[in-house]
Amino acid sequence: MSDELYMQRALELAELGRGNVSPNPMVGCVIVKEDFIIGEGYHRKYGEAHAEVNAVNDVKDSKLIEGATAYVTLEPCSHYGKTPPCANLLVEMKVGRVVIAAVDSNPLVGGKGITILKEAGIEVVTGILEKEARWQNRRFFTQIEKKRPYVILKWAQTADGFVAKKDFSSKWISNFSSRQLVHKWRAEEDAIMVGKNTAKYDNPALNVRDWVGKNPLRIVIDSRMELPKDLKLFDQAVPTICYNTQKSEVHGNLELVKLKSGFSVQDILQDLHQKKIQSLIVEGGSFLLNKFLESELWDEARVFTSQNKFEEGIVAPIIQKPASELISVLEDRLAIYYHV
Do 116 and 164 share a domain, yes or no? no
List, for residues 13-39, the tens digit of each pLDDT value: 999 999 999 999 999 999 999 999 999
212, 135: one domain:
no
**pLDDT tens-place string over residues 144-163:** 999 999 999 999 999 999 99
Same domain, 152 and 123: no
Task: Kindly report the CATH number assigned to the domain that includes residue 116.
Answer: 3.40.140.10
The domain boundary residue, chosen from 111, 140, 169: 140
Domain identity same for 298 and 171: yes
Question: Which conformational region is residue 170 in: left (phi greater than 0), alpha (psi within -120 to 50 degrees), or beta?
Answer: alpha
Can you give the pLDDT at residue 140?
A: 96
CATH number at residue 211: 3.40.430.10
Both 247 and 285 in a single domain?
A: yes
In this structure, the answer to whether residues 152 and 136 fall within a common structural domain is no
Q: Is 77 annotated as a binding residue?
A: yes
Cβ 64 vs Cβ 88: under 8 Å:
no
283 is in an annotated binding site: yes
Is the domain of 52 the same as that of 128? yes
Which amino acid is residue 116, in one-letter code? Answer: I
| Number of domains composing the chain | 2
Residue where a domain terminates, one of 140, 164, 198:
140
Instruction: Please state the rounded mean pLDDT for residues 234-240.
Output: 97
The angle at the Cα of 94, spanning 89 to 95, to the nearest 5 degrees, equals 90
Judgement on whether residues 117 and 223 belong to the same structural domain of the protein: no
> 273 among the known binding-site residues?
no
Q: Does residue 229 share a domain with residue 166?
A: yes
Please provide the average confidence, as pLDDT, over all residues in the chain.
95
Of 117, 140, 163, the one marking the end of a domain is 140
Q: Does 9 show up as a binding residue in the annotation?
A: no
Which domain, by its residues, includes 201? 147-338
Please indicate, yes or no, whether residues 154 and 262 belong to a single structural domain of this protein: yes
- Strand 332-338 versus strand 300-305 pairing type: antiparallel
Nearest 5°: phi and psi at 294? -65, -35
Say whether 218 counts as a known binding-site residue: no
| Domain shared by 162 and 121, yes or no | no
The secondary structure of 69-105 as a DSSP string is EEEEEE----S-SSS--HHHHHHHTT-SEEEEEE---
Q: Whole-model pTM?
A: 0.94
Helix (H/G/I), strand (E/B), else coil: 13: helix
Catalytic residue among 12, 40, 52, 325: 52
Residues 191 and 334 in one domain: yes
Among 190, 124, 182, 122, residue whose Cα is nearest residue 155: 182
Residue percentage of the chain with pLDDT more than 70? 99
Active site residue 52: yes
